[in-house]
Amino acid sequence: MLMADFRAKECECHDCLICEDGLCPGGYVSDGEGNPIEPPCCFLDDDVDIEKWVRSQQAYIRQIEDNQHKEYLAEAKKKEKNKITQERRRRSMGHVRAETCAIKQLQKRVQGNEAVMRLAETFQIANSMISGREIEKFTDKQSIEIQNDLIRAKIKEIEAIRKQKLKDFRKNQRNSEKQNNH
């Protein structure tokens, strides 16, 4: 039925194909803010076939719903992947927790030693200003620097062990996941 024929018959909204298929609220209504919403038949030209228009609108709505469903599935898949990644990361970090703690402790010792050197140099400068003598070289600075170098070497060793343990852990995880998937 063409729109011109429908208008000529002066049918009621409840007899309209557009309203029957849920594409029209059934006459003039308003949105939540009180603005008028005109029914779709007001905008259709007289030469439009109502049945074809309804089918095309339903296909468009199905396409939108399918796209929304695909987006939802993609988002859910992404969230699941992130969850799995976080769980792997948590397990792998737990596997090397002792090494990580040791590295942090050694780094704090280096920072503490550097703070002691700065403080000693500051006291030495202040002492020389008060006494009027030249600044004498801080004698323990070399021993602290040597100690820091040894600590940094130990940090590198532990870091290498940590990396190797992580590498082995990830390899074992991949192998176990492959076995579980088969």
118/57 same-domain check: no
Domain with 58 in it: 3-74
pLDDT band for 118, please (50, 70, 90 cuts).
confident
- Residue 90 lies inside a defined structural domain of this protein: no
Residue spans of beta strands (DSSP E) within the chain: 29-30, 36-37
- Residue 133 lies inside a defined structural domain of this protein: yes
Structurally, how many domains does the chain consist of? 2
What is the Cα–Cα distance from 78 to 81, expressed in whole angstroms? 5
Spatial contact of 48 and 2, defined as CB atoms under 8 Å apart: yes
Q: What is the per-residue pLDDT across 32-70, written as a single tens digit (0 to 9) for each?
A: 777 777 777 777 778 888 888 888 888 999 999 999 999
Q: pTM for the whole thing? A: 0.48
- Residue 86 lies inside a defined structural domain of this protein: no
Q: What is the per-residue pLDDT across 79-112, written as a single tens digit (0 to 9) for each?
A: 999 998 898 888 888 888 889 899 999 999 999 9
Residue type, 68: Q
What is the Cα–Cα distance from 58 to 39, expressed in whole angstroms? 16
Question: What is the number of residues in the chain?
Answer: 182
49/110 same-domain check: no
- Residue 10 lies inside a defined structural domain of this protein: yes
Question: Which residues lie below 8 Å from residue 89, measured CB to CB, with a gap of 6+?
Answer: none
- Residue 54 lies inside a defined structural domain of this protein: yes
Tell which wins on pLDDT, 66 or 20: 66
**DSSP three-state, residue 49:** strand
